[in-house]
Amino acid sequence: MKKLSLSLLGPLENGYLILSGIIAAGLILTLISFLRLCSEECSAGHNYRLFGVTFEAVGFVFFGMLAVTHSFAKKYSFLGFIQLLLFAGAIGAEGMFIVVQKYEIGTWCPVCLTIASIVLIGAIVQGYAYTKQNQYMTRSDNQRKNMQTIWNRVAPFAAIGVGFVVTFFGVTKHDALQAAQEAIKDKIAFGNIKSDIEIYLFTDWACPACRKLEPTVEKLVPEIMQNNQFFFVDHVIHPETLNFIPYNLSFMLNNKSEYFRLRHMLGEISKETSTPTEDQITKGAAKLGVTFRELNYSDVAAGTKYFKSLGEKFKIRGTPTMVLINKDTKKGKKLTGNDEINKENIIKSINALKAN
């Protein structure tokens, strides 16, 4: 059988050149979207993800795969058929993206529509090239030829369906604040981050009972953290606590090794004033050999929102409260007040959660 690349349209290889241009255009348009150089209508589309991955990243991978297969399609003819399947799958995916733009976003992104158009053109060109190649197939093995013909005709349509279905289940709207909260959680975690046990201590900076508990916290928590994850949560019972959250977050994010000394310093300041100034915090940290670093607003907002969401999730009604959770079994234990939050109860709760 005479070997011909699926990328060829006649002896002048016009189809191959057209596909080269389509792939190059796809990469350029993806880069434009990545650099946010497109119109205002494109901005809403940037809030969506495919299985958590940005559309730009997906585009770079897709057109990159096309570029690789296209480069070797002349030498290995089967790669042309792989290209056809890639284009077909992309048609299904782009169809779902268009549905999202129409019914969820409500605006049309020129760059996205152009990419969809060139994907369609690429599929047509590649499909035509495949049809032309079939004209040169030998007719000696009719049964085999018929089976291959059926497969080659059905597979692209199946790929379109797969692309649409996968995208249907994979497209989600990206919640930037939620992502920031998840990032905050990872950054403020103390102790053994691989542990199945998560311990949350909810306190309020103006809570007398919380202040009374602090010496126990400073003595007990470092020991508990050796084998468990531990989180300090600012739970707003008194509004003044909101004034301390930015500083406490900064210390947890930037000064973990000195956190307990800084937390003690912050607690002492909370006894003197309900409205600490940055100058007070900076000087207090400097006495401990620490340089205070102010957080940007988005980090503070994400941290505050995360603290609030934890309070709502665990139905915290007062402080101090300690919540212990086995993140695998989802079982938990709640200790409330100074009488319950002690070493004996904490160890007993941890062992019970591990046993379950």
Give domain limits for the chain. Answer: 14-174, 178-355
Confidence (pLDDT) at 47: 76
Please tell me whether the peptide bond between 239 and the residue prior to it is cis, using omega within 30 degrees of 0.
no
Confidence (pLDDT) at 285: 96
Whether residue 136 is predicted with pLDDT greater than 60 in this model: the reply is no
pLDDT confidence band for 133 (50 / 70 / 90): low
Which residues on neighbouring strands pair with residue 156, listed in sequence order? none
* Closest listed residue to residue 265, CA positions, set 312, 231, 197, 218: 218
What average pLDDT does range 334-343 have in this prediction? 95
Confidence (pLDDT) at 143: 54
CA 354 to chain CA mean position, Å:
29
Q: Which residues contact 196 (CB under 8 A, 6 or more apart)?
A: 326, 327, 328, 354
Confidence (pLDDT) at 138: 44
Whether residue 12 is predicted with pLDDT greater than 80 in this model: the reply is no
For residues 348 and 53, which has the higher predicted lDDT (pLDDT)? 348
Q: State pLDDT tens for residues 195-220.
A: 999 999 999 999 999 999 999 999 99
What average pLDDT does range 252-269 have in this prediction? 95
Q: Which residues contact 170 (CB under 8 A, 6 or more apart)?
A: 50, 51
Whether residue 342 is predicted with pLDDT greater than 80 in this model: the reply is yes
- Tally of CB atoms within 10 A around 45: 20
Interhelix angle 78-100/142-170, nearest 10 degrees: 30
Q: State pLDDT tens for residues 161-177.
A: 999 999 899 888 766 65
Answer yes or no: are the C-beta atoms of 9 and 129 closer than 8 Å: yes
Confidence (pLDDT) at 3: 45
Whether residue 265 is predicted with pLDDT greater than 70 in this model: the reply is yes
Whether residue 126 is predicted with pLDDT greater than 50 in this model: the reply is yes
The CATH number that domain 178-355 falls under is: 3.40.30.10
Half-sphere exposure of 173 (CA within 13 A, CB side): 8
Q: Which residues contact 290 (CB under 8 A, 6 or more apart)?
A: 251, 255, 258, 262
pLDDT confidence band for 76 (50 / 70 / 90): confident
% of the chain surpassing 90 pLDDT:
57
pLDDT confidence band for 49 (50 / 70 / 90): confident
Whether residue 30 is predicted with pLDDT greater than 60 in this model: the reply is yes
Q: Pull the structure tokens for residue 160.
A: 């379109």
Q: Pull the structure tokens for residue 238.
A: 């008194």
Answer yes or no: are the C-beta atoms of 93 and 166 closer than 8 Å: yes
The CATH number that domain 14-174 falls under is: 1.20.1440.130
- Among 82-91, 143-152, 319-328, the range scoring the smallest mean pLDDT is 143-152
pLDDT confidence band for 293 (50 / 70 / 90): very high
Edge-to-edge order in the sheet of strand 197-203: 190-191, 229-234, 197-203, 321-326, 332-336
- Among 127-136, 179-188, 242-251, 253-262, the range scoring the smallest mean pLDDT is 127-136
What average pLDDT does range 299-317 have in this prediction? 92
Kindly report the average pLDDT of the chain as a whole number: 86
Whether residue 340 is predicted with pLDDT greater than 50 in this model: the reply is yes
Q: Pull the structure tokens for residue 283.
A: 């000087």
**Distance separating alpha carbons of residues 344 and 224, to the nearest angstrom:** 11
C-alpha torsion sign, points 111, 116, 119, 120: negative
For residues 327 and 43, which has the higher predicted lDDT (pLDDT)? 327
What average pLDDT does range 188-199 have in this prediction? 92
Confidence (pLDDT) at 237: 95
14-174 and 178-355 agree in CATH topology: no
Whether residue 253 is predicted with pLDDT greater than 60 in this model: the reply is yes
For residues 291 and 100, which has the higher predicted lDDT (pLDDT)? 291
H-assigned helices in the chain:
14-34, 55-72, 78-100, 110-134, 142-170, 176-188, 208-225, 241-254, 259-272, 278-287, 297-313, 337-340, 343-355
Confidence (pLDDT) at 36: 79
